[in-house]
Structure 1
Amino acid sequence: MATPVNRRTVLAAGLSLPLAARAPGRPGAKVGFTLDARVLDGGEQVVSLTLDTARLGIDPSSLTPGTFAVHARATSPIPIAPGDLIFSEYDVDRTVTAARLDRRGDIVLDLAHAEGQVGGGTLGYIVSRSRNVRLDLDYTITQNAPLLRRDGRPVPIAAFVQGGLANPEVDAFSHHVSGSGMKYRLFTPHGHGGRGGRPLIVWLHGGGEGASLPDGYYDNETTLRANRGALGFATREAQRIFSGAYVVAPQSTSFWMADGPGFAPLIEEIITDLVRRHPIDRRRIYVAGCSNGGYMSLKMTTTYPRLFAASVPVCGVVASLQPGGPRLITDAELAGITTPTWLVTSRDDTTVPPEPNTIHAHDLIPGSLMTLYDQVVWNGYRFNGHFSWIYLGRNDPSVDGTHVWQWMARRRR
């Protein structure tokens, strides 16, 4: 059994400056810095560094993109066995595209980032475990040119010390553990929602975002950082459409498909507890999920036919992934679904082929809607055909001019 590695260890990145950059007889200050991250459609990346320099009174004219150099190293929190593969550890120089002061007077180093770019991600995918894990990140800042205060005096800095990872969208979700031990993240809307209460949206993650318990790894993080599935419903646009909604993202202890009937009551337990503790409208509980979670969305509506006002399974698994294996959701179960259902997938999905899965489910679920894309492209970047959850996270699917979020928000149980 692999020895667990604490991925939350705070790493310190030291810096020895040239003597010319130091004030004579003064050791210089230690400056902490934060890793600023953003979840792109293809996953989370570190997009800038914020240096805690407000107290130093930096002259912004002394800042250029070349003032600092940034090196980044990302390693797995789980030991990788010989012959195994992980995507994407890295040990690279990050390009500084701008150096500026924010409103507080802290230095912000903007870093080059883009969909598909290697060297900025916060997650790695371990092939043998089919798991995303949050990488241990070690960033080193090197000062290449002197900094000046607003009065013209030099600023001596002895070392830069790395702090935590900050992502306002992810950090808006609080951490929780259910009575049965299932971890989940919860977004809480502003206000109380009036007499009827707020909607609740349940997001069920894909297979790569579950735990790896044999390695002691159960992070309650990758469910939000791997894609914008849950985050999309917490955006200002979605919250306006739903008039303020709670968003909950449970994390499986393995794969939802490993035991859908066993996981269903554990998810239902979380929902029941949230309804008990928060002003949630029982008539407006929605479930959505991608891939493994698309399967689990369907399984939840077959197990609890009166619980959800609407269901949106994205590239959900229905047929067995093994040739000749039993169907994960039977034709009788699909035909018996009474929850309003909108299915989403892409024709070029080779991981969960649409014909035996999404299209087959659409043919059997009474009154279901379906959006079938030819490929997955967003902002000019073409993604893997399996990533059709990107469209749901952007409220793109539509039928007769009605988009999927608006359709969900209008449903009542």
Structure 2
Amino acid sequence: MKNRIITLAAIFLSSHASMADTDLKDEGRAVYSQRTTAHSFTNADGKSLNYRIFLPEGYSKEKKYPLVLALHGAGSRGTKNVKHMRPWVAGWSSPIVQKDNPCIILMPQCPPNKQWVNTPWRNGSYSMDKVAISEPMSLAKELFDKVVKEHSVDESRIYLIGCSMGGYGCWNFIMRWPELVAAAVPVCGGGDPSQAEKLVSLPIWTFHGDKDTVVPMKATTDMVDAIKKAGGEQVKLTVYPGVSHNSYAFAWKDPELIKWVFSQRKNPK
């Protein structure tokens, strides 16, 4: 593990150098809110989930677009459909990204006092056999299905990103529905290593800070090691040396990550 951190320190430093070249930065909730539209989804049982959606400039039903499902962290839970407008959720709506990668971005908001995955973050990994699907995750999946059906989505280019509580959500989503996703980016989250065989063929790039005291880094390395042990060769790990829980502040604007995500494709059913 020590050698792996030393190797990834070089990746961290090179990412810092390349970030400056992109000019990609936090534009603020007001800008992200202006670029997106606010909605509320209600399912057949009357359960609801707020969400925002971004449609690329010149959106046309005559074209197919990649879809990014972005799951926020615990600090962005709320009821007003604004608090989750953070760069690691809505930042890829920036013209800098959209110029070469026009995409739809779906951004549900988890209600207060609920979680994408009902497990204590400080405990790291968990067992899906003991943790039933949460109401917000179930609603997010229903919402996802609705958006894919009603919008012009390229189903070979569906991407999932999530940080912290959303990192748990990201792992949970791909463990439940791996066939739907072309690539996933779980940041400082955790999953169930016993589900690793489901993920051996899925491109995954995961990030964590080695000084994280909110979600232990072992939550990420448990998943990476289990996937590799199961034969997976498409999982990547970046460890940020000296970084605490804010690894997402670096990961979302890494130009190599942006290029990597939008280069991934799968064959739709």
**Paired residue for 1:347?**
210
Residue 307 of structure 1 and its aligned partner are, at CA, apart by: 0.6
Please give the TM-score of this superposition, normalised by the length of structure 2.
0.74
**Paired residue for 1:261?**
133
Residue 195 of structure 1 and its aligned partner are, at CA, apart by: 5.4
**Paired residue for 2:222?**
360
Please give the TM-score of this superposition, normalised by the length of structure 1.
0.49
> Structure 1 residues 346, 260: closer, same or farther in 2, change over 3 A?
farther
**Paired residue for 1:20?**
none
Q: Which structure ranks higher in relative contact order (CA pairs < 8 Å, sequence separation ≥ 6)? A: 2
**Paired residue for 1:210?**
77
* 1:150-194 per-position Cα deviation (integer Å, ceiling 9, x unaligned): xxxxxxxxxxxxxxxx82232211101112311101111012468
Equivalent pairs counted in the alignment come to: 218
Between Structure 1 and Structure 2, the one with more helix by share is 2
Give the superposed CA RMSD.
Answer: 2.3
**Paired residue for 2:42?**
179
Residue 204 of structure 1 and its aligned partner are, at CA, apart by: 0.3
**Paired residue for 1:331?**
193
* 1:187-242 per-position Cα deviation (integer Å, ceiling 9, x unaligned): 1101246855001101101012223xxxxxx1211111xx3112221111221232
Residue 394 of structure 1 and its aligned partner are, at CA, apart by: 1.2
* 1:130-168 per-position Cα deviation (integer Å, ceiling 9, x unaligned): xxxxxxxxxxxxxxxxxxxxxxxxxxxxxxxxxxxx822
Higher radius of gyration, 1 or 2? 1
Give the secondary structure class of the aligned counterpart of 2:184: strand
Kept in 2, the 8 Å contact 1:231–1:393? The answer is no
The answer for unaligned runs of 5 or more in structure 2 is: 1-24, 119-130
Are 2:171 and 1:298 aligned? Answer: yes
**Paired residue for 1:111?**
none
Between Structure 1 and Structure 2, the one with more strand by share is 1
Residue 346 of structure 1 and its aligned partner are, at CA, apart by: 1.0
Kept in 2, the 8 Å contact 1:209–1:223? The answer is yes
Distance in 1 separating the partners of 2:177 and 2:95: 30
Give the secondary structure class of the aligned counterpart of 2:51: strand
Percentage identity across aligned positions?
27
The answer for unaligned runs of 5 or more in structure 1 is: 1-39, 45-165, 212-217, 319-328, 377-384, 397-402
**Paired residue for 1:232?**
91
Letter aligned with residue 310 of structure 1: A
Kept in 2, the 8 Å contact 1:264–1:303? The answer is no
Residue 375 of structure 1 and its aligned partner are, at CA, apart by: 3.1
Give the secondary structure class of the aligned counterpart of 1:301: helix
**Paired residue for 2:250?**
391
> Structure 1 residues 292, 260: closer, same or farther in 2, change over 3 A?
farther
